[in-house]
Amino acid sequence: MAEVKVKKETNLSDATEVENRIKQLCQQFPHGITDQVIQNDMPQLEPQQRAMAINKLLSLGQLDLLRNSSGLLYRMKDVQSASKMKGSDNQEKLVYQVIEDAGNKGIWSRDIRFKSNLPLTEINKILKNLESKKLIKAVKSVAASKKKVYMLYNLQPDRSVTGGAWYSDQDFESEFVEVLNQQCFKFLQSKAELARDSKQSPMVQRNSSFATSHEVWKYISELGISKVDLSMDDIETILNTLIYDGKVEMTVIAAKEGTVGSVDGQMKLYRGVNPVIQPTGLVRTPCGLCPVFDDCHEGGEISPSNCIYMTEWLDF
Amino acid sequence: MHRGTLGKSNRRAEQGLPLSTNSSVGKMTAQEVRLCGLLLREHFGEVVEKVGTHLLKGGAQNLRTIIHETGISLDLVKKSLCVLVQHGACVFRSGRKGAGSPAEYQTCCDRILRILRYPRYIYTSKTLYGDTGELIIEELLQRGHMTMSGTVKTVADRLTQNMEEGRSMDYSEVSSTFFRLVETHFLQRCPPLAGPEPKDSATPAAPAPPGTPATPVSTAPPTPESFPDCYKVPHVTLVGRGKRQLASEDGEDQRNAKKAKMDSQTHGDEGICWQVNFERFHLHFRDQAIISAVANKLDQTSSEIVRTMLRMSEVTTSPTATCTKPLSANEIFRSLPTSYNIPRPILDQYLTLLIDDPMEFVGKAGESGGGMYVVNMHRALANLARATLESVVQERFGSRSARIFRLLLRKRHLEQKQVEDFAMIPAKEAKDMLYTLLSQNLVQLQEIPKTPDYAPSRTFYLYTVNQLPTARMLLQNCYKTVANLVERRLFESKESKRLLEKSQRIEAILASLQASGAEPEQLTEVEEMITAPEKQQLDALRLHINKLDSAENQVDETIFLLESYINSTASTS
């Protein structure tokens, strides 16, 4: 009898063997393997067996199915996440994936429906389920207060959703903004007064009354009136409101890259200014402020002769 | 037909639309006409008021029409027209229908509205030229036109009245002040009147150019400046001193006054009448406004520099220019008042700071002579008008609405969401404020459609502020406010008319008793005829009237700023 080469054949009909082999391949190629790779490794595997093994692994939640430009990819699934999804069915997994893809901007329930092609009732059930498992959370958007976006539980919502530093729980914090407004103005005003009292040449006076946005930011941070960390951009929006109040003016100068506080080679300088006129003559009379000015004429119900605002003003 | 036209004008008046569509008449609104009527009534009486307002509403009319439509007698109408012409409020020219038609009279409300500003003119001349200047301007404002000799004599008499016994004011002093007023162009000659028949093409003062007798008469009356002798003082022989008027009975006063009129001294300047040059005063006020704005925004020294620059360009700049002629830094340095000991480099620094200021009061026009600088008058007026608008919004609606208003002025067009974000005001409140401003017409809405059918969901709605129309609207509000104040003042006086008459009678009795040397008991007896509560009422009334008066002056300042801005914009565009 001739020597029979005993091929150490893996028992290909054993499904678990196939699955294990595929899993090993996945671990070898963490980016994912294509059908081609599996075929190269186990040429004798028939397509149906391969498909069965892959499906089994997918249903067990140990493989991730992805699609790329050249075809289907199979990737090893993270053990932790695999444990999370235990007990969930495919639909939930699909929804979870869609939400995960939305990152920290969150996704609206209608958009989930479009992406997953599931009916609305199903979506709602799944969302409730996932929420109770503490896998996702709903965040109210500041733009439209009735709209809820869903994102993964442990993600920080993006600024555009929560509104940034000025909103706490979807409420615009006007008092906080007011306080910051006044503090910035006081800082700039005292700087301007110091400069004026220094009695130096006018150019030096004016230059020393300027404060860069960085200086103001540092002052506000050191004051410690803000619970939230404010960035320099936030401070600049506050300073802009002071400009619109007519109390502050701004110039931009070119600054060397690398100087503290410069952005793109520019620095913004702010300084407190005085108003250019006193309150004008018209508003010193009751007519200038009268809410029924347009209804007033001689001989009517409201007329200068019987105007109660004038009477009060005259007796003041 | 008479009733019909009146009804139509009333309806248009209520809508605030201009009443006269006659293109040769400046468009005037109902508020302006109402204010002019009140001013005419206060200064000249009710008859002149009726004639004046009729002319304002109806455009150019001839005598017959005026008599027919107002129902006043020929005599009174003639006198009223005389008064109006004397004060320059009314001009006349030949009728439009050709050479032989009767003269037409036309009023313009601008001149009548100046009456509101008389106190400011008088005060300015007092600060510049002292009591003499004050009285000269006051006399000319009250009389309209007067010859130089007449003015000098009257002013000398008045000044003498207030001096101690035995002293009197010399005519030459008053004349010299008069010369100075003419030199600085505060007074000017009245333009010689146009000849009645322009058929004669050789008429020297006719506005129609000679050689084209068939041309219709030009619609604008000639300005005083178009005559070369406008500021030339005639050679006048005025020797003498002021006469003190003796205290005498009323009847004797009248006789004396009549005698003075028939005093046939001639002084060589008959027929040359003088009037106050309002435009020059307005330039002065405008300069003052710019200087005080610079003082408020920057500091005293900068405002002195700007004052020097404006003084240097007083005569070289035309009234309607947007900026002064360029002045070199060397010139400015030499012309600074000696009390300001600023070294030259510091002056340069101040000038640089003035240029860098965002309000752009001063601009740089070149580098020669150490730097050529101009004062940007139009820009300064625009900024002052803008500050006025912002001040009105702030006082009326609060500082957050003012923030939104300023934001829109800066950024021109913004959507609702952007307004909320930039102004950092919560959405609900911002919406409320924007809608309030919109309903008061201070803010306008601009629609930009994405689709041709203007569907609301597919259109951008942008908020915007237009400075010029808003300024015009506020100006009309100012006119209405002043009219309200005047009416309230007249009402208060009317209410207490009985009391006022009583107090006047008692004062007259007291004066006559004192003059004829009565005992103190008699005086106190007469004084006690006014009871204490009546005295209180009188005091309160005086306080009210003073308050209303000063409020009128304050609103007039706003009127001046807004009018200057509107005229300056109209002449530059």
Instruction: Report how far residue B490's alpha carbon sits from residue B483's, in angstroms, rounded to the nearest whole number.
Output: 11
Q: Is residue B3 part of a domain?
A: no
* Residue in B404, B406, B426 closest to A172 by CB: B426
Residue range B379-435, pLDDT digits in tens: 999 999 999 999 999 999 999 999 999 999 999 899 998 898 888 888 888 999 999
Instruction: Report how far residue B32's alpha carbon sits from residue B29's, in angstroms, rounded to the nearest whole number.
Output: 5
Interface test with chain A among B481, B537, B547, by most A beta carbons within 10 Å = B481
A275 interfaces chain B, CB cutoff of 8 Å = yes
- Return the CATH number of the domain spanning residue range A81-163: 1.10.10.10
Instruction: Report how far residue B305's alpha carbon sits from residue B344's, in angstroms, rounded to the nearest whole number.
Output: 12
B512 and B365, same structural domain? no
Residue type, B457: S
Contact in structure between A65 and A72 (CB atoms under 8 Å) = yes
Residue finishing a domain among B444, B465, B486: B465
| Residue numbers in B near A275 (CB within 8 A) | 296-297, 387
B291 and B261, same structural domain? no
For residue B145, the model assigns a pLDDT of: 87
Q: Identify any residues that bridge with B436 across adjacent strands, giving them in sequence order.
A: none
User: Rounded to 5 degrees, what angle do the CA atoms B558, B563, B567 make?
Assistant: 155
Q: What percent of chain B has pLDDT over 90?
A: 24
B564 interfaces chain A, CB cutoff of 8 Å = no
Determine what percent of chain A falls in helix, strand and coil, rounding each to the nearest 5: 50, 15, 35
For residue A157, the model assigns a pLDDT of: 67
Instruction: Answer yes or no: do B359 and A276 touch at CB < 8 A.
Output: yes
Name the H helices within chain A.
Answer: 15-28, 35-41, 47-60, 79-84, 90-101, 109-116, 120-132, 159-162, 174-197, 202-208, 213-223, 232-244, 286-289, 308-314
* Residue in A278, A284, A314 closest to B544 by CB: A314
Q: Where are the domains of chain A?
A: 15-77, 81-163, 174-272, 286-315
Q: Is residue B15 part of a domain?
A: no
Instruction: Answer yes or no: do A244 and B399 touch at CB < 8 A.
Output: no
pLDDT for B3 beyond 50: no
B498 and B535, same structural domain? yes
B297 and B261, same structural domain? no
A273 interfaces chain B, CB cutoff of 8 Å = yes
For residue B516, the model assigns a pLDDT of: 79
- The shortest C-alpha distance from B9 to chain A (Å) reads 16
What number is the average pLDDT over the span B543-566?
92
* Residue in A177, A237, A310 closest to B488 by CB: A310
B221 and B143, same structural domain? yes
Instruction: Report how far residue B372's alpha carbon sits from residue B364's, in angstroms, rounded to the nearest whole number.
Output: 6
A10 interfaces chain B, CB cutoff of 8 Å = no
Residue finishing a domain among B375, B398, B433: B375
B203 and B102, same structural domain? no
Element (H, E) at B539: helix B532-572
A282 interfaces chain B, CB cutoff of 8 Å = yes
Instruction: Answer yes or no: do B349 and A166 touch at CB < 8 A.
Output: no
Q: Is residue B359 part of a domain?
A: yes
Q: How confident is the model at residue B217 (pLDDT cuts 50, 70, 90)?
A: very low
Residue finishing a domain among B447, B465, B483: B465
DSSP string computed for B352-418:
HHHHHSTT--EEEEESGGG-EEEEBHHHHHHHHHHHHHHHHHHHHH-HHHHHHHHHHHHHS-B-HHH
What number is the average pLDDT over the span A24-43?
74
Contact in structure between A213 and A236 (CB atoms under 8 Å) = yes
B207 and B119, same structural domain? yes
Q: How confident is the model at residue A206 (pLDDT cuts 50, 70, 90)?
A: confident
For residue B242, the model assigns a pLDDT of: 64
pLDDT for B189 beyond 60: yes
B270 and B285, same structural domain? no
B247 and B119, same structural domain? yes
Contact in structure between B69 and B5 (CB atoms under 8 Å) = no
B548 interfaces chain A, CB cutoff of 8 Å = yes
B314 and B205, same structural domain? no
For residue A221, the model assigns a pLDDT of: 85
A302 interfaces chain B, CB cutoff of 8 Å = no
Q: What is the ipTM of this complex?
A: 0.73
Residue range A164-183, pLDDT digits in tens: 666 666 667 788 888 888 88
Which range of residues forms the domain containing residue B385?
380-465
pLDDT for B181 beyond 80: yes
For residue A49, the model assigns a pLDDT of: 77
Higher pLDDT, residue B27 or A119:
A119
The count of structural domains within chain B is 5
Q: How confident is the model at residue B214 (pLDDT cuts 50, 70, 90)?
A: very low
Residue of B nearest to A173 (CA): B426
Instruction: Report how far residue B330's alpha carbon sits from residue B351's, in angstroms, rounded to the nearest whole number.
Output: 12
Residue range B41-71, pLDDT digits in tens: 999 989 999 988 888 888 888 888 888 888 8
Q: Is residue B435 part of a domain?
A: yes
B428 and B284, same structural domain? no
A168 interfaces chain B, CB cutoff of 8 Å = no
| Residue numbers in B near A303 (CB within 8 A) | 487
Element (H, E) at B454: none
* Residue in B402, B487, B555 closest to A285 by CB: B555
DSSP state for residue B326 in the 8-state scheme: P
What number is the average pLDDT over the span B87-111?
80
For residue B218, the model assigns a pLDDT of: 43
Q: How confident is the model at residue A307 (pLDDT cuts 50, 70, 90)?
A: confident
Is it true that domain A174-272 has CATH number 1.10.10?
yes
| Residue numbers in B near A277 (CB within 8 A) | 292-293, 296, 384, 387-388, 391
* Residue in A177, A240, A281 closest to B558 by CB: A281
Residue of B nearest to A247 (CA): B403
Q: Are A15-77 and A81-163 in the same CATH fold?
A: yes
Q: Identify any residues that bridge with B447 across adjacent strands, giving them in sequence order.
A: B461
The pTM is what?
Answer: 0.77
Residues 188-247 of B with CB under 8 A from A: none
- Return the CATH number of the domain spanning residue range A15-77: 1.10.10.10
User: Rounded to 5 degrees, what angle do the CA atoms B470, B472, B473 make?
Assistant: 65
Q: Report the length, in residues, of chain B.
A: 573
Q: Is residue B5 part of a domain?
A: no
Interface test with chain B among A244, A252, A271, by most B beta carbons within 10 Å = A244
* Residue in B392, B410, B427 closest to A280 by CB: B392
For residue A158, the model assigns a pLDDT of: 66
- The shortest C-alpha distance from B121 to chain A (Å) reads 18
Q: How confident is the model at residue B8 (pLDDT cuts 50, 70, 90)?
A: very low
| Residue numbers in A near B292 (CB within 8 A) | 277
pLDDT for B15 beyond 50: no
CATH number for B186: 1.10.10.10
B254 and B121, same structural domain? yes
What number is the average pLDDT over the span A70-85?
62
Q: Is residue B428 part of a domain?
A: yes
Higher pLDDT, residue B7 or A78:
A78
The neighbour count for residue B381, using CB atoms within 10 Å, is: 23
Q: Is residue B12 part of a domain?
A: no
Q: How confident is the model at residue A282 (pLDDT cuts 50, 70, 90)?
A: confident
Interface test with chain B among A285, A296, A298, A303, by most B beta carbons within 10 Å = A285
Residues 356-395 of B with CB under 8 A from A: 356, 358-359, 383-384, 387-388, 390-392, 394-395
Residue range B319-367, pLDDT digits in tens: 778 888 888 888 888 888 878 778 888 888 888 888 888 888 888 888 8
Instruction: Report how far residue B314's alpha carbon sits from residue B311's, in angstroms, rounded to the nearest whole number.
Output: 5
| Residue numbers in B near A280 (CB within 8 A) | 387-388, 391-392, 557-558, 561
| Residue numbers in B near A203 (CB within 8 A) | 349, 352-353
